[in-house]
Chain A
């Protein structure tokens, strides 16, 4: 499997001198196309910080994030924003859907940011809502949907721009066990493909069965990298 991105000796610390605290310390790994890679660990282990650095959101203090042979953090800010817009899809823990927009408009946001026309963006958004099983709900505001359905809207928004890398932050945190499993199973079956890499930050062991590889973090460092199914 080809490499989607590579983290090389990534470190992030806060404070200086004796007060310096490492959130992530000298972490290296690679994520591959066609795999679902989990980053797991207890709260405060640095998994969200790591995810933020590899997705172009948080600048590391040291190390590199190599995408398509180029260090992401050497790019100008506008190019990093463009990288996030075109190459990365985010599904946030709280979804962060706009309650004043319809579901279709929410899904269309990345497309609109890509300068696609309003009508075209809505048309594409409706297609992606159908892919995630929300046909006929494009005109509803997100607040009229259940938690699982809102999660699907967030997924549709994340995949609408056809990103190479999909990032899920605690995707099951706001869902009951069955719904969480159904969502992750759906993502694995329908969203993951050979040209896409999915990174999931979670500490929900009930969904570990869907992972191809699991990267275990503790105190800002990788403590183990195991193949999936039965870590």
Chain B
């Protein structure tokens, strides 16, 4: 059988024009599909930046919260009630809010402020510079060194700014797993300072972060929190909820889905048409092979191999090109949100397999119907 495949390979790649057209069609489709889905994955990851960076196992929130930025503050009794649930190791409040800071040069910059529980500093980020204890110092803030860092004038330890008529001083520079979605810098401080410095509503805890004693305690915690009228979600569930919101409630997912489908259809059309032409041009030759003694299934294997080889080569090139583009874009644009995930690659792979299957099906139908007698008749 390998000899047959070698013939199929040579028939395919030696027809350079057709082979290039086939590759380009699928490559283009893969490139667009991977780019679109990667950008969407990047957006979703950034939308969950706070959840990823804080890293608590269980998040308690108002059920109406559908993304991390639009938190709905909860009364203090929820924190006390959460702490009293059997199976809770500890529970702490998290402040999450927006503020405007006035920089040294007089310009204003919007920031996200996260207030960590004073006693435990649970959810604190790893520091690149400075000491975490300094967060208790007067006016102390940590700044996250992400892609938005420069918007605060590349602050150093000791840099000062004004926040709601209060002085703020940078005491540490933190590392974050991922930047936020909305292109604004992030500051960390203590919970008490956050609620003091930033004007807020009567209730101040945006989220309650819970560390369960064991995973087995989770159902009980969920149920008890639900009795209070709130919702307890695991880290992954919260990310999923945010993803669901952006995917289905903002139009973003529909747009990306449409673009992905269009890419798929374009790729399918180009490769299907080109492969069909390729088969038509070689139809008499396949008929001659049949007359010589090739069995129908051998011709089917040849066509499947040709379609499969083209699809996989184009897939590899398409993924490579998309990765290169994303890498280059990130070098120039730190805010560029795109993530090549295994899911994206898998999705593009499945779509490429469908393209290959449809293209080869067209060819197989033609080739299996050709009668060797037609070759004699001319």
Among the 9-residue stretches B3-11, B161-169, B239-247, the one with 4 or more Cβ atoms under 8 Å from chain A is B3-11
A110 touches B3 (CB 8 A): no
B294 CB–A CB distance under 8 Å: yes
A98 touches B373 (CB 8 A): no
A81 touches B288 (CB 8 A): no
Q: How far is the CA of A110 from the CA of B290 in the complex (A)?
A: 11
Q: How far is the CA of A220 from the CA of B370 in the complex (A)?
A: 24
A92 touches B14 (CB 8 A): no
A86 touches B14 (CB 8 A): no
B376: which of A110, A116, A169 is its contact (CB, 8 Å)? A169
State which residues 7-30 of B face A: CB under 8 Å: 7, 10-11, 14-15
Shortest distance in angstroms between A225's beta carbon and chain B's nearest beta carbon? 22
Which residues does chain A contribute within 8 Å of B3, judged by CB atoms? Answer: 112-113, 115-118, 121
B289 CB–A CB distance under 8 Å: yes
Q: A57-B372, A118-B2 are in contact. Are A113 and B10 (CB under 8 A)?
A: no
Shortest distance in angstroms between B291's beta carbon and chain A's nearest beta carbon? 6
A52 CB–B CB distance under 8 Å: yes
Q: How far is the CA of A121 from the CA of B4 in the complex (A)?
A: 12
A178 CB–B CB distance under 8 Å: no
Interface residue total, chain B, C-beta cutoff 8 A: 29
B118 CB–A CB distance under 8 Å: no
Interface residue total, chain A, C-beta cutoff 8 A: 35
Q: A58-B373, A117-B3 are in contact. Are A96 and B378 (CB under 8 A)?
A: no
A105 touches B10 (CB 8 A): yes
B378 touches A101 (CB 8 A): no
Shortest distance in angstroms between A17's beta carbon and chain B's nearest beta carbon? 23
A48 touches B285 (CB 8 A): no
Q: How far is the CA of A96 from the CA of B289 in the complex (A)?
A: 9
Shortest distance in angstroms between A139's beta carbon and chain B's nearest beta carbon? 13
A90 CB–B CB distance under 8 Å: yes
A8 CB–B CB distance under 8 Å: no
Q: 0/1 per residue, B150-166, Cβ < 8 Å to A?
A: 00000000000000000
A94 CB–B CB distance under 8 Å: yes
Q: 0/1 per residue, A89-116, Cβ < 8 Å to B?
A: 0101110101011000100011011011
Q: A92-B376, A96-B375 are in contact. Are A84 and B295 (CB under 8 A)?
A: no
A113: which of B284, B298, B372, B375 is its contact (CB, 8 Å)? B298
Shortest distance in angstroms between A100's beta carbon and chain B's nearest beta carbon? 4
A109 touches B7 (CB 8 A): yes
B106 CB–A CB distance under 8 Å: no
Scoring A90, A94, A110 by chain B CB atoms within 10 A of each residue's CB, the highest score goes to: A90
A52: which of B289, B294, B373 is its contact (CB, 8 Å)? B373
B288 touches A96 (CB 8 A): yes
Q: 0/1 per residue, B352-378, Cβ < 8 Å to A?
A: 000000000000000000011101111
A112: which of B7, B295, B378 is its contact (CB, 8 Å)? B7
Q: A96-B285, A105-B7 are in contact. Are A81 and B295 (CB under 8 A)?
A: yes
B289: which of A77, A82, A109, A116 is its contact (CB, 8 Å)? A109
Which residues does chain B contribute within 8 Å of A118, judged by CB atoms? Answer: 2-3, 6
Q: 0/1 per residue, A72-94, Cβ < 8 Å to B?
A: 00000110011111101010111
Q: 0/1 per residue, A197-228, Cβ < 8 Å to B?
A: 00000000000000000000000000000000
Shortest distance in angstroms between A195's beta carbon and chain B's nearest beta carbon? 19
Given A85-B294, A109-B7, 19 new contacts (CB under 8 A): A48-B376, A81-B290, A84-B291, A84-B292, A90-B291, A92-B376, A96-B288, A96-B375, A101-B10, A105-B10, A110-B293, A112-B4, A112-B7, A113-B292, A115-B1, A115-B3, A117-B3, A118-B3, A169-B376
7 closest Cβ contacts across the A-B interface?
Answer: A85-B293, A112-B3, A100-B14, A96-B288, A84-B293, A58-B373, A57-B372
A selection of 20 A-B contacts at a CB cut-off of 8 Å is A48-B377, A49-B373, A57-B372, A57-B376, A77-B295, A81-B290, A81-B294, A82-B293, A84-B293, A85-B292, A88-B293, A90-B292, A96-B284, A96-B288, A98-B11, A98-B285, A105-B10, A110-B292, A113-B3, A157-B292
